[in-house]
Structures are given as structure tokens and as C-alpha cells.
């Protein structure tokens, strides 16, 4: 092995926050390298967010075409060509990769394709994808290695070679009966997409409800909406055994309170949580400690237990969203420039891209209760928003949590069209610390979904004091 090569900034993994940090540092003249083993630009543009939303859009088109007659646009039978769905997605991913490569080049960041592992503090050995190895030392090192899909320990499951999101988004055939393990956002988005392509779909959720972190009214509404599309659910269900092989024939023994039953299908998709990519990368040799679940132990400035080493994104236990990883970058960037930013109390919204989508910012009712925060709650059915009447997308509701003794908005949840965009409007009001009446009295364009915030916030119960 040659002498170690020195970089001012050395980043392991080209995920959402890591690549932004690399480009920023390289642009400001620092010698910067990023080590990436496979996905240029991380999992979001390659195998997670963007490809899933791309295929979800194909599924939405299929669904709209099927409903055409309702809107006065009659068409023939809908045929799904999964190879074409995949091709459309692949084109977008290729464009994303090309754009990333242009950015690495334009900023002067060296992108090193290979698998990195620590062999000493701040020192990485990289097995290069095209053969050979390099030893790299960083003055400052950043770990942004992400997570991978967990395969629950169930007899026969691993041997059944289940799909994860990566393979599910690469299928060129339509599974006759897809069994989805996991009722979180990854599982539900793909369950609905495949149902709309034409698969029979069964979702099996271990916990007592879908979307375990949401309030029961949210989870129930969502389950009803998806069940209307004939997606089958087994909730509070334990998988006892799996037989067969995904892509061919599979059979699951599932236990619920009503006893054991057999579920037979053609393919299994596992969407049951994520495991950090922190095993076997020599973190012990780098002085970087992990927590009990294998996430890098960081403080609220994302500093690890090793000096001059930071962790970013999912591997650091940050909320599992691209925008959280990107915000990790901003926190580190600002702190390195002398700031004092922290991950504590940041407002991280999320949106699940089912149709209709579910989005939330701030507290749920259950969280407010757990934290002993007294709130006033107001709800509005989406059917009473005039925009929804025009589009015919009337399912779902909005819910806002307002302080019991002040007029701050503490949380907002929505199931309904454009939920992610509406949440952003509420988020800005929350960030500005404005009272809910600002939004209630705002002149909002008609007819839009945001307009629903007016009537929603006109029904806030009076303060308790």
C-alpha cells in the first residue's frame, strides 16, 4: 500500500448531507474527497425517494386513467408495462447521476468509487471498485454511510429472498400477489403503487396500527382509504414462518389475536425498518462509538466520540429523511464557521407519498400528551375544502394543535391532496412564531388546498384560561 494521501475534508458515503458538505468545502478551496461504494449521490436519487416517487407517479397515472369515465374522459382498458415504468425511472436516475458527477467535477471534489473502512483514527482504507486500494487521511472526517433494509428474523424469510425497496423498484414484471411486510411509509407507498399497477396486495404490520407514530385517527383514516382500493391489511400480526421463494410462490403463517392463518402470495417486499451501515467499517479503530442500535453516537452538534470526526444523516440517528440529512450538513457547516447550531428542537416535517398523501409537522396529539403539553385541537374534513370538490379528491382530513394557553401552532397533520405543500405553509408560520390567527386571516388563493387552513383555524376552541 502506498503512503496515505492527505485531504482536509474526507467524507465516507456520498449521501444527502455528505455530498452537500463536500461540494461546499471543495468550493471554498479545501482539498476534499468523498468515498462512495455504489450510489453516486446516496440512496435518495438512486434507490429511495426519487425512484419511488417516480414509479408512484406511473401508478397514479394508471389509477387516473381507470377513473377517466368519471371525469368524462373515456378510454380503453389500462395495460401496465412494468418494463416501461422501470425505463422511465431509470432515465431519471441516470440524469440524476450525471448531474451529481457534474457537481463533483465543477466543485473540484474528488469522488473515489470504492468501499471504505477505518484502519486508524481519521484514516480510511478504500478497496477501489476497479481494483487496488488507497489509504486516505482526513484532517476532518465525516461519516455519511446511511442505512439498509432490515430483514426481520423470521424462519424462512431470508431464504425466501424477499424484495427490498431496491429490487421492488427494479421489477419488470407485475407480482400477481405482493405481500408487504411493514405498514410504515415505505411499505404503504409501494403497496399502493403495486395495487394500482394491478397486483393483489396484502400488508402485514407487526404493531397495533399502520404508521405507528401517528395518532389513531390518522392511521384509521389512512387504512380505510387504502382498503377502499382493495389493499388487504393484517395489523397486530406476527409472522411465524415463511416458505417458498419470492418471485415464484410464497406462503406465510401469520398469527393475530384471532389465531393463525396462512397467507399465500407470489412476492414478498420487506419494509420493516432500517439498519445503519456501521458494522464492519472499523469504527472501533477510529475511536467512533456506536449506540445500542448501531447508530453512530453523536452529540447535538453531530460530533462523534472521536475528535474532528462527525456523522451525518441516518447513520447518526437523524430523522430518516433526505431533508434531515441535508439539515445535518447545514448544522455542521455553520458550526465549523463558528456558529452554535444544534439538532435539538428542529422542526422536521415529513410527507408520505400515498394518494392522498399524509404529512405532518410538529406534534401529534399522542406526542403532546406524552410531553405534557396541553393543546387545543381543530379538525376539518378534506371534503369541505372547495379545491378538493373540484378535483374529486375528497378523502382525508386536516388537524391542527394549538397551545392551550397561547396561540402558537404546535402541530399540523393532513391526509389529503398536496398535504406536503400545505404542511410547508404551516411550518413557516410555526418557524416565525406567529399566532395561528395570522394564517386564519391570511388572504389565500382560491381555490387551493391551502385555503382549507382558513376554516380549519376558524374552529379552534377557546383558550383554557
Ligand X SMILES: Cc1cc2nc3c(=O)[nH]c(=O)nc-3n(C[C@H](O)[C@H](O)[C@H](O)COP(=O)(O)OP(=O)(O)OC[C@H]3O[C@@H](n4cnc5c(N)ncnc54)[C@H](O)[C@@H]3O)c2cc1C
Residues that bind ligand X (CB under 6 A): 12-17, 35-39, 42-44, 48-49, 52-53, 115-116, 144-146, 165, 186, 277, 281, 313-315, 320-323, 325, 353
Q: Taking the complex as a whole, how short is the minimal distance between the CB of residue 460 and ligand X, in angstroms?
A: 30
- CA dist 363 and 361 (Å) reads 7
Q: Taking the complex as a whole, how short is the minimal distance between the CB of residue 324 and ligand X, in angstroms?
A: 7
Nearer to ligand X, 142 or 233 (CB): 142
Q: Taking the complex as a whole, how short is the minimal distance between the CB of residue 10 and ligand X, in angstroms?
A: 12
Torsion of CA 6, 46, 315, 298, to 10 degrees: 60
Q: Taking the complex as a whole, how short is the minimal distance between the CB of residue 312 and ligand X, in angstroms?
A: 6
Q: At what angle do helices 216-228 and 185-197 cross, to 10 degrees?
A: 20
Q: Taking the complex as a whole, how short is the minimal distance between the CB of residue 15 and ligand X, in angstroms?
A: 3
- CA dist 341 and 257 (Å) reads 48
Q: Is 104 exposed, middle or buried (0-12, 13-18, 19+ CB in 10 A)?
A: buried
Q: Taking the complex as a whole, how short is the minimal distance between the CB of residue 401 and ligand X, in angstroms?
A: 23
Nearer to ligand X, 171 or 456 (CB): 171
- CA dist 438 and 196 (Å) reads 40
Q: Is 13 exposed, middle or buried (0-12, 13-18, 19+ CB in 10 A)?
A: buried
- CA dist 17 and 41 (Å) reads 10
Nearer to ligand X, 182 or 416 (CB): 182
Q: Taking the complex as a whole, how short is the minimal distance between the CB of residue 221 and ligand X, in angstroms?
A: 20
- CA dist 347 and 324 (Å) reads 10
Q: Is the CB of residue 22 less than 8 Å from the CB of residue 34?
A: yes
Nearer to ligand X, 317 or 403 (CB): 317
Q: Taking the complex as a whole, how short is the minimal distance between the CB of residue 42 and ligand X, in angstroms?
A: 3
Please report the sign of the dihedral spanned by the C-alpha atoms of residue 407, residue 408, residue 410, residue 413. Answer: positive
Nearer to ligand X, 123 or 165 (CB): 165
In our burial notation (b when 16+ CB lie closer than 10 A, e otherwise), range 62-87 reads bbeeeeeeeeeeeeeeeeeebeebbe
Nearer to ligand X, 324 or 457 (CB): 324
Nearer to ligand X, 165 or 192 (CB): 165
- CA dist 267 and 153 (Å) reads 18
Nearer to ligand X, 52 or 223 (CB): 52
Give the full edge-to-edge strand order of the sheet including 358-362. Answer: 350-352, 358-362, 409-415, 397-403, 375-381
Nearer to ligand X, 212 or 461 (CB): 212
DSSP 34-56: EEESS-TT-HHHHTSHHHHHHHH
Residue with cell 467512533: 288
Q: Taking the complex as a whole, how short is the minimal distance between the CB of residue 325 and ligand X, in angstroms?
A: 3
Contacts of 115 (CB under 8 A, 6+ apart): 35, 37, 126, 127, 129
Amino acid at each position: 500500500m502506498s503512503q496515505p494521501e492527505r485531504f482536509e475534508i474526507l467524507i465516507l458515503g456520498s449521501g444527502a448531507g455528505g455530498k452537500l458538505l463536500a461540494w461546499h468545502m471543495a468550493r471554498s478551496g479545501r482539498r476534499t474527497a468523498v468515498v462512495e461504494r455504489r450510489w453516486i449521490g446516496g440512496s435518495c436519487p438512486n434507490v429511495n425517494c426519487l425512484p419511488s416517487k417516480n414509479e408512484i407517479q406511473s401508478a397514479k397515472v394508471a389509477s387516473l386513467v381507470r377513473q377517466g369515465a368519471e371525469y368524462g374522459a373515456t378510454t380503453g382498458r389500462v395495460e401496465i408495462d412494468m418494463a416501461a415504468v422501470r425505463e422511465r425511472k431509470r432515465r431519471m436516475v441516470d440524469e440524476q447521476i450525471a448531474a451529481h458527477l457534474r457537481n463533483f467535477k465543477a466543485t473540484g471534489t474528488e469522488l473515489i468509487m470504492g468501499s471504505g473502512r477505518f484502519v486508524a483514527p481519521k484514516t480510511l482504507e478504500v478497496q477501489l471498485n476497479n481494483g487496488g486500494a488507497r489509504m486516505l487521511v482526513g484532517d476532518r472526517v465525516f461519516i455519511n454511510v446511511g442505512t439498509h433494509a432490515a430483514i426481520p428474523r423470521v424462519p424462512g424469510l431470508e431464504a425466501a429472498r424477499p424484495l427490498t425497496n431496491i429490487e421492488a423498484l427494479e421489477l419488470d414484471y407485475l407480482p400477481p400477489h405482493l405481500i408487504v411486510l411493514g405498514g410504515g411509509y415505505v411499505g404503504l407507498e409501494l403497496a399502493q403503487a403495486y395495487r394500482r399497477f394491478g397486483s393483489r396486495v396484502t400488508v402485514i404490520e407487526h404493531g397495533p396500527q399502520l404508521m405507528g407514530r401517528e395518532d389513531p385517527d390518522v392511521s384509521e383514516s389512512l387504512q380505510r382509504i387504502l382498503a377502499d382500493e382493495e389493499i388487504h391489511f393484517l395489523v397486530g400480526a406476527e409472522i411465524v414462518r415463511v416458505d417458498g421463494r419470492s418471485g415464484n410462490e410464497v406462503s406465510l403463517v401469520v398469527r393475530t389475536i384471532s389465531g393463525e392463518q396462512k397467507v399465500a402470495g407470489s412476492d414478498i417486499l420487506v419494509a420493516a425498518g432500517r439498519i445503519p451501515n456501521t458494522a464492519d467499517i472499523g469504527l472501533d479503530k477510529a475511536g467512533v462509538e456506536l449506540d445500542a442500535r448501531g447508530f453512530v453516537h453523536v452529540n447535538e452538534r453531530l460530533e462523534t466520540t472521536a475528535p474532528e470526526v462527525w456523522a451525518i444523516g441516518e447513520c447518526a440517528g437523524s430523522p430518516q429523511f433526505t431533508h434531515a440529512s441535508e439539515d445535518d450538513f447545514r448544522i455542521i457547516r455553520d458550526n465549523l464557521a463558528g456558529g452554535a447550531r444544534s439538532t435539538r428542537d428542529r422542526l422536521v416535517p415529513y410527507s408520505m407519498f400515498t394518494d392522498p398523501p399524509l404529512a405532518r409537522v410538529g406534534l401529534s396529539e399522542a406526542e403532546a400528551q406524552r410531553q405534557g403539553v396541553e393543546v387545543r385541537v381543530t379538525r376539518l374534513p378534506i371534503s369541505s375544502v372547495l379545491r378538493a370538490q373540484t378535483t374529486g379528491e375528497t378523502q382525508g382530513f386536516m388537524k391542527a394543535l394549538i397551545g392551550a394557553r397561547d396561540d402558537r401552532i404546535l402541530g399540523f397533520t393532513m391526509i389529503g391532496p398536496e398535504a406536503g405543500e400545505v404542511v410547508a405553509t404551516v411550518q413557516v408560520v410555526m418557524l416565525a412564531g406567529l399566532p395561528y390567527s395570522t394564517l386564519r386571516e391570511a388572504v389565500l388563493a382560491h381555490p387551493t388546498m391551502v385555503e382549507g387552513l382558513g376554516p380549519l383555524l376558524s374552529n379552534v376552541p377557546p383558550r383554557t384560561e
